[in-house]
């Protein structure tokens, strides 16, 4: 097994001299960074921060700072000091550890940075998770695909434990399901409507359903992040994306002035704002200024 010294050598010593690192080293020395626990054998530590609690190894930390930069964070430096592989003075005082109850949420700018790094398709799934779940019912079931992997890796979303017997599937059209059941010779009550039929199939033919439909698994928004931040930012970016892609299909002047300053209402304009075939012959009235106006509203 590698020694702590060998593991620490993964980091380029020049990194520790950078301004970026020096800031974190200074924080690491403070009593506030007193670890909750250190496991010398496993060379890992547990820290309680203002935004959450983290398991930390010499090369990795669960905090957002590390997720953003992949460079040593203050927890990693403190662990390195505690294990004696990075020499610096540090203060220890268990009373200085932030208390769990007073946890703040992760700042908006970090949240936004993590969201921006996600593929657009994963951002759409994240929007679904935050939009279709609530604080009281935080679980939302999604497919385990590359978006799932990206979301878990970002730590914006966490897996929820669930009973393996509780299986769910992304059912499609009910007629397709009936056709599948018939072709596989699976018995069912033909009078059932979509929802009860899906429930019936999930209960009686889960393994067959898994061959036909993507299986869903429960996730939730990581409680260290603000749901409101995630929701508002994604609602803004998806609106912007929509307008950037579709702005040619709309005429700015067709928007009533009382709607112009209220993006929440733009959805209501879509039906009548869209150019019809005859109008498309006319020279276009507006354009990029609309998107700029959307941007300026949010900034």
Interface residues with Zn ion (CB under 5 A) are 61, 63, 66, 73, 75
Q: Which is nearer to Zn ion, 4 or 275 (CB)?
A: 4
Tell the smallest beta-carbon distance from residue 73 to Zn ion (Å). 3
Q: Which is nearer to Zn ion, 29 or 235 (CB)?
A: 29
Q: Which is nearer to Zn ion, 59 or 226 (CB)?
A: 59
Tell the smallest beta-carbon distance from residue 63 to Zn ion (Å). 3
Find where tokens 């899906």 sit.
198
Tell the smallest beta-carbon distance from residue 155 to Zn ion (Å). 12
Q: Which is nearer to Zn ion, 63 or 157 (CB)?
A: 63
Tell the smallest beta-carbon distance from residue 54 to Zn ion (Å). 5
Q: Which residues of 100-130 are buried (b: 16+ CB within 10 A; e: fewer)?
A: eeebebbeeebbbebbeebeeebbebbbebb
Q: Which is nearer to Zn ion, 51 or 217 (CB)?
A: 51
Q: Which is nearer to Zn ion, 109 or 253 (CB)?
A: 109
Tell the smallest beta-carbon distance from residue 56 to Zn ion (Å). 6
Q: Which is nearer to Zn ion, 53 or 237 (CB)?
A: 53
Tell the smallest beta-carbon distance from residue 57 to Zn ion (Å). 10
């Amino acid at each position: 097994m590698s020694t702590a010294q060998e593991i620490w050598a993964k980091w380029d010593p020049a990194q520790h001299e950078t301004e970026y690192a020096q800031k974190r080293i200074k924080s690491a020395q403070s009593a506030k960074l007193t670890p909750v626990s250190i496991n010398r054998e496993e060379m890992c530590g547990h820290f309680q921060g203002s935004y959450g609690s983290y398991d930390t190894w010499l090369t990795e930390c669960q905090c957002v700072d590390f997720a953003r930069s992949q460079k040593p964070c203050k927890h990693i430096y403190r662990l390195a000091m505690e294990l004696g592989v990075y020499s610096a003075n540090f203060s220890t005082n268990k009373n200085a550890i932030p208390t769990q109850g007073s946890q703040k949420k992760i700042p908006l700018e970090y949240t936004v940075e993590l969201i921006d790094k996600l593929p657009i398709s994963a951002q759409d799934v994240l929007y679904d998770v935050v939009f279709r779940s609530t604080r009281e019912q935080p679980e939302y079931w999604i497919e385990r695909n590359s978006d799932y992997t990206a979301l878990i890796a970002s730590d914006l979303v966490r897996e929820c434990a669930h009973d393996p017997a509780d299986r769910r599937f992304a059912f499609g059209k009910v007629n397709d399901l009936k056709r599948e059941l018939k072709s596989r010779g699976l018995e069912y009550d033909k009078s059932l409507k979509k929802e009860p039929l899906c429930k019936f199939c999930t209960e009686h033919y889960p393994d067959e359903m898994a061959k036909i439909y993507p299986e869903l698994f429960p996730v939730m928004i990581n409680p260290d992040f603000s749901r409101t931040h995630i929701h508002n930012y994604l609602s803004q970016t998806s609106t912007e994306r929509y307008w950037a892609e579709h702005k040619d299909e709309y005429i700015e002047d067709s928007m009533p002035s009382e709607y112009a300053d209220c993006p929440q209402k733009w959805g209501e304009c879509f039906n009548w704002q869209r150019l019809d075939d005859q109008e498309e012959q006319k020279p276009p009235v507006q354009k990029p200024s609309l998107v700029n106006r959307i941007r300026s509203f949010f900034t």
